[in-house]
């Protein structure tokens, strides 16, 4: 019986290549791999060609999806290559790390909890930690690259007895410094990744030297105790050639005394059993889920991540002439973006990369040299193309795939079926999707995306449509691995996407804190086509509207309600009862608007003006298709605005805005509007109120002033008649008002003002419109002298 402990670097292409060759040489009859034992039954799926990395093992506690952990694998991960070798050779595979049932049973902050501080940063977006890997050191995994950086001491909070915090060491950093390197990652690449012939015995010897005198903290000790227990179990089961694939840091703890039978120098079985006795347990479920290279990066927060998974994939897939192949592919990427890159560029870039490697004493040009060659030669110093190469190639946008036979919750399986039916393939890179809702396929796609949003699965993000009309929708699609966790969590609501979204909407309606939240939920519910959820939302909406006496709340709620009513009709999903509720809300708004509009300060007046604009913009939808009548929504709304506009205690901003709305609607003729404007800008009103009145009046756009000379003349006469102090006081308000106009509108207003001055024939405006430039010779003299000096004529 022989036990071969093979220390690797997680996600190391050199380790993966060497491991594959070593396993072919050893021909073990069982392979033990660092990972959760609960996933032993899933290893056989690796034989399915539809299980394509990057993928991850997911372990979660049923009913508590936030308590979950991922174990990601890429094609260049040594563990994945070990699984593939065993499956192809028909050799049993067992995972040997501490069971997820123990680590997920611990609560946050406890030593064995997922995401506990001593284990390093949690997998971003997942909440819990990634598999037994670490915090620190290099860009990679210091288990022979990165894991050990977080596992060589106690947690940052000290030991259980409240002692001083344990000091973490970086074993790869120590070996790199001993070799004269200042960058541990570069040393590992030069010593292992770029060589491909480093024997596992050398790695084991190096780790033994680094671990000399090291006392593992509790969590690390339990992990290694369980690994030894699993090896003993394989020995008892009669296996003769046992291969153990683990992070290089753990090799000394699993090997024992070199040159002796396995087990010599290791803690006895009783000691390991005592260490593992009494650990908390939780019921967990495991499955395979797709992963992405973007989530495999160190910058994503994954403790065992690598900074350049795309580069590592390339090194594994192209062991011969990797630099030449890399730069050729980079040139193809740049050409696809219409950037001029020739074969001569590629040749010079290869030469530069190899020259830099020679100058730096490296056995092979690495990513740093290749990137500098890309920047200097292919991109000619430009940073934007370099960032494109980094995103497309260095990191990559590869998304894995799992077969249909993979264990899934019913909601996941239903979504997968819907994706196939609607021909919506989940992909990692962002892509734009434009939908025409008049087409049945596009309408079904839209409903699916809206339902997923209600479930908290943001696969699709709505964006402004390129087309016009309510039959157009535009989305940005990008699949993320954490959506599988979201689907598991959402499975508590139902087994299909429509049923789960319906149940979720009902709960959201019951918990909605305010009326606008309910109407926004209703607006989201209609495009999702959830007719069984609508009665609950409408019932809650009607009850809340009857009890809410705040007019601003009612005004905030009405626009979404009107849009929902109109949009539902467009999509063919009308909601009975919406018209009655919106009509009741409008009636209460019209009655209470006068009391709500009086005696407001600047901020409250601005807020109410915005509410009035929102309601007015949507009232037209209620009038669409109705015959002219006194009880039409638009008629009632304009009557309410007319009654409020006559109040004497209105803020200038509100009064000016109401006059403009009534004028545009034809409810107020130009002569009456002029009288109101003239009265608002009379000497009896403070300049600040007059400026606010003008702001409210022209906030809909400046074209009215361009086409109505009398209104423009009133504004111009009021402004030119202000004394200097009043002018300075209202100038910021006027700049804000006129600065909101489009440049052509401002230019047209200026030209009209000039023509007004030309027609009047008096005052400062005459010179502006006389066709001659008004020049003050005394003030211009200094500028003239400066110009003459520049021209050399003085």
% pLDDT > 90, the chain: 27
Percent of the chain whose pLDDT exceeds 70: 82
Q: How many CB atoms lie within 10 A of CB 401?
A: 17
Closest CA to 401 of 765, 790, 51, 144: 51
Choose between 5 and 690: higher pLDDT.
Answer: 5
List C-alpha distances in Å: 623 to 294, 486, 580: 50, 42, 14
Highest mean pLDDT among 182-191, 315-324, 332-341: 332-341
793: pLDDT strictly greater than 80:
no
Residues 499-513, mean pLDDT to the nearest whole number: 88
Question: Highest-confidence range of 139-143, 200-204, 519-523, 663-667, by mean pLDDT?
Answer: 200-204
pLDDT value at residue 303? 56
With tokens 């940005």, the residue in question is 476
Annotate 402-419 with b (16+ C-beta within 10 A) or e (fewer). beeebebbebbbbbbebb
Is the pTM above the cut of 0.95?
no
pLDDT at 164 (0 to 100)? 35
- Residue 790: predicted pLDDT: 83
| Sign of the Cα pseudo-torsion (221, 225, 231, 235, in order) | positive
Region for residue 452 given its phi and psi (left: phi exceeds 0; alpha: psi -120 to 50; beta: otherwise): alpha
- Domain spans of the chain? 2-300, 320-395, 410-490, 669-794
Instruction: Look at 673 and 154; give whichever has higher pLDDT.
Output: 673
Which strands form 431-436's sheet, in the order they lie side by side?
Answer: 431-436, 472-477, 460-463
Q: Which is more confident, 648 or 346?
A: 346
Q: What is the mean pLDDT of residues 548-553?
A: 74
Residues in a beta bridge with 55: 73, 290
The residue among 257 and 259 whose pLDDT is bigger is 257
């Amino acid at each position: 019986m022989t036990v071969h402990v093979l220390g690797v670097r997680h996600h190391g292409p050199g380790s993966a290549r060497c491991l594959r060759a070593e396993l072919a040489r050893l021909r073990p009859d069982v392979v033990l791999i660092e990972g959760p034992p609960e996933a032993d039954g899933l290893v056989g799926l690796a034989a399915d060609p539809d299980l394509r990395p990057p993928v991850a093992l997911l372990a979660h506690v049923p009913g508590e999806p936030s308590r979950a952990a991922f174990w990601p694998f890429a094609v260049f991960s040594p563990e994945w290559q070990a699984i593939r070798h065993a499956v192809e050779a028909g050799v049993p595979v067992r995972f040997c790390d501490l069971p997820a049932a123990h680590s997920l049973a611990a609560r946050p902050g406890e030593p064995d909890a997922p995401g506990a501080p001593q284990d390093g940063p949690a997998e971003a977006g997942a909440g819990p930690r990634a598999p037994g890997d670490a915090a620190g050191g290099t860009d990679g995994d210091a288990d022979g690259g990165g894991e050990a950086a977080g596992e060589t001491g106690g947690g940052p909070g000290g030991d259980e007895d409240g002692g001083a915090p344990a000091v973490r060491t970086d074993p790869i950093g120590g070996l790199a410094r001993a070799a004269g390197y200042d960058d541990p990652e570069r040393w590992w690449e030069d010593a292992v990744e770029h060589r491909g012939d480093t024997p596992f015995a050398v790695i084991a010897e190096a780790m033994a030297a680094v671990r000399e005198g090291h006392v593992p903290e509790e969590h690390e000790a339990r992990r290694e105790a369980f690994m030894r227990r699993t090896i003993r179990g394989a020995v008892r089961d009669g296996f003769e050639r046992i291969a153990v694939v683990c992070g290089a840091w753990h090799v000394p703890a699993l090997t024992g005394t070199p040159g002796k039978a396995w087990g010599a120098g290791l803690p006895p079985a009783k000691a390991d059993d005592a260490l593992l006795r009494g650990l908390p347990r939780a019921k967990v479920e495991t499955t395979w889920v797709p992963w992405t290279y973007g989530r495999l990066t160190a910058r994503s927060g994954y403790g065992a991540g690598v900074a350049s998974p795309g580069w590592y994939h390339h090194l594994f897939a192209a062991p011969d002439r990797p630099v030449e192949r890399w730069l050729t592919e980079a040139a193809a990427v740049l050409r696809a973006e219409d950037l001029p890159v020739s074969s001569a560029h590629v040749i010079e870039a290869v030469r530069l990369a190899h020259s830099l490697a020679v100058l730096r004493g490296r056995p092979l040009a690495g990513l740093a040299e290749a990137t500098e060659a890309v920047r200097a030669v292919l991109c000619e110093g430009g940073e934007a193309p370099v960032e494109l190469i980094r995103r497309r190639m260095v990191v990559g946008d590869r998304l894995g795939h799992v077969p249909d036979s993979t264990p899934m919750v019913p909601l996941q399986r239903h979504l997968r079926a819907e994706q196939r039916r609607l021909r919506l393939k989940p992909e990692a890179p962002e892509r734009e999707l434009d939908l025409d809702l008049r087409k049945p396929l596009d309408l079904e796609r839209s409903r699916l995306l809206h339902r997923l949003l209600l479930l908290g699965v943001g696969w699709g993000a709505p964006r402004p449509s390129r087309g016009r009309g309510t039959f157009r929708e535009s989305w940005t699609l990008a699949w993320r691995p954490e959506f599988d966790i979201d689907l598991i969590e959402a499975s508590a609501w139902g087994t299909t996407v429509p049923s789960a979204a319906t149940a979720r909407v009902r709960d959201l309606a019951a918990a909605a804190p305010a009326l606008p939240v309910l109407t926004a939920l209703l607006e989201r519910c209609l495009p999702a086509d959830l007719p069984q959820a609508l009665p609950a939302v409408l019932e809650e909406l009607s009850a809340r509207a009857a009890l809410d006496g705040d007019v601003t709340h009612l005004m905030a709620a009405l626009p979404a309600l009107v849009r929902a009513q109109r949009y539902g009709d467009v999509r063919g999903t009308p909601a009975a009862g919406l018209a009655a509720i919106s009509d009741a809300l409008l009636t209460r708004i019209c009655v209470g608007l006068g009391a709500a509009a009086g005696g407001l300060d600047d901020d409250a007046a601005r807020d109410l003006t915005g509410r009035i604009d929102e309601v007015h913009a949507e009232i037209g939808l209620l009038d669409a298709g109705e015959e002219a009548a006194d009880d039409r929504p638009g008629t009632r709304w304009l009557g309410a605005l007319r009654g409020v506009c006559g109040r004497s205690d209105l803020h200038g901003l509100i009064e000016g805005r109401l006059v403009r709305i009534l004028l545009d609607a034809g409810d107020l003729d130009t002569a009456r509007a002029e009288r109101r404007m003239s009265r608002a800008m009379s000497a009896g009103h403070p300049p600040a109120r007059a400026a606010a009145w003008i702001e409210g009046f022209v906030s809909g756009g400046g074209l009215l002033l361009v086409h109505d000379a009398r209104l423009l003349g009133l504004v111009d006469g009021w402004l030119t008649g202000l004394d200097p102090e009043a002018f300075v006081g209202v100038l910021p308000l006027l700049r804000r008002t006129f600065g909101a106009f489009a440049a052509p509108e401002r230019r047209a207003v200026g030209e009209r003002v000039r023509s007004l001055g030309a027609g009047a024939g008096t005052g400062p405006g005459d010179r502006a419109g006389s066709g001659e430039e008004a020049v003050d010779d005394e003030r211009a003299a200094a500028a003239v002298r400066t110009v003459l000096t520049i021209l050399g004529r003085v």
